[in-house]
Amino acid sequence: MRALPEGERPWCSGVAVAAGTGSGPLVEDAFGWAVRYEVYDESADRGVELPREERVPVRTGRRHGTVFDLASLTKLFTTIVAVRAVERGQIDLDGRVASYAPELTAAAEHGVTVRQLLTHTSGLLPELPLYEYADDEQRLARLSAEPPTTPPGAARRYSDLNFLLLQRVLEHACRRTLDRLVGDTITGPLGMADTRFRPPSSWLPRIAATEDQRRPWARLDRGMLRGVVHDENAWALGGVAGHAGLFSTAGDLAVLCRALLRGGGGVVSSASVDLLLNAPGLGFEVDQPWFMGELAGRGAAGHTGFTGTSLVVDRARDVYLVLLANTVHPRRRPGNSAPRAAAGTALAGAVG
């Protein structure tokens, strides 16, 4: 990744990259700044850069690496919790959502299943402005009453709502909150101490900034965000949500990737890994060259996050690629996954 002149608006302020195999890491490196801008200047359409001595570089290393807002990579953790609950007999993939969470009245009326949530075939809208409602009771009422716009099972349509409903299913069926389920099921067993919802204030010096959130480009006026979830709905829901809210490091996500490449690493069974990673995938997206580059084509599976994050697991080549960036710092721009795809192509070329 080339050095960027001062004042130029790069693809991201900073990035951490980790790649390796099921046996161990091949490379872990960092470039740029976790915190580069003080504010976004709307009139000049550019970030106001902090003095160089006040910026925070992106770093690597366990317990020292930069912590990023994962955005939709959170969905992968919710998915893994779900398949583990299937293994334990707590939920059924083809069970009706309403049989676990009867308050989800629209899902009950239309017969939405757990599998349809995990494969984005429920027919639900991509999102709702839950952050506009005054309290959690009103947010849940709005979410519960939202009907599918197409018949469940008829077509794939990516939706954050699927994972908000899945969160309700899991919390009812497993009798624990999602943050506890992620800790008990994934991060605890794998020793991922740098991965959690609602990071504590002691982590702040390590956390990458995201957006100077102000209207009209953002949905809320929250100022420059650092250590607080970027997604407005996840924030309104208290920072713990099925679709967004987790923070982590490249090193911690590499641990998860290696576990998947090793057949589940004791977190889930090898049969469940097949369900997760084989087409069409559960939660994971399979063979998507727009962000995987030339890693796509042999059954690679992964996901992206709005803040600039991505993860790819390629069992055919026995490699993984984690790329964590803060592309929304100091403000969001139209999506551009070319650098993600280029990294995937470079890794594919390196390992053959």
| Domain span including residue 326 | 1-352
**Total domains present in the chain:** 1
* pLDDT, position 62: 76
Cα 68 from chain centre: 10
* Span between the terminal Cα atoms of the chain, in Å: 21
Q: In this model, does residue 9 exceed pLDDT 90?
A: no
Q: In this model, does residue 8 exceed pLDDT 70?
A: no
Q: How do residues 83-135 score in pLDDT, each as one tens digit?
A: 999 999 999 999 999 999 999 999 999 999 999 999 999 999 999 999 999 99
* pLDDT, position 21: 97
∠ Cα 129 133 139 (to 5°): 80
State residue 227 phi and psi, 5-degree precision.
85, 0
Q: Which residue, among 184, 158, 188, has the nearest Cα to 81 in the 3D structure?
A: 184
116: which 2 tokens?
Answer: 């349809």
Query: Average pLDDT, stretch 251-263?
Result: 98
The enclosing domain of 292 has a CATH number of 3.40.710.10
* pLDDT, position 352: 84
Report whether 40 contacts 330 (CB < 8 A).
Answer: yes
Residue % of the chain over a pLDDT of 90: 95
Q: In this model, does residue 344 exceed pLDDT 50?
A: yes
∠ Cα 32 36 41 (to 5°): 135
Q: How do residues 195-251 score in pLDDT, each as one tens digit?
A: 999 999 999 999 999 999 999 999 999 999 999 999 999 999 999 999 999 999 999
Q: In this model, does residue 332 exceed pLDDT 80?
A: yes
* pLDDT, position 68: 98
Rg from Cα positions in the chain: 19
Q: Cα separation of 239 and 264, whole Å?
A: 27
How much is the mean pLDDT over the chain? 95
DSSP state of 317: T
Q: Cα separation of 352 and 350, whole Å?
A: 6
Q: Cα separation of 224 and 158, whole Å?
A: 28
- Alpha helix (H) residue ranges in 42-89: 74-87
Q: In this model, does residue 5 exceed pLDDT 80?
A: no
273: which 2 tokens?
Answer: 């890994």
Is residue 116 helix, strand or coil?
Answer: helix
Query: Average pLDDT, stretch 30-42?
Result: 96
Q: In this model, does residue 40 exceed pLDDT 50?
A: yes
∠ Cα 153 158 162 (to 5°): 70
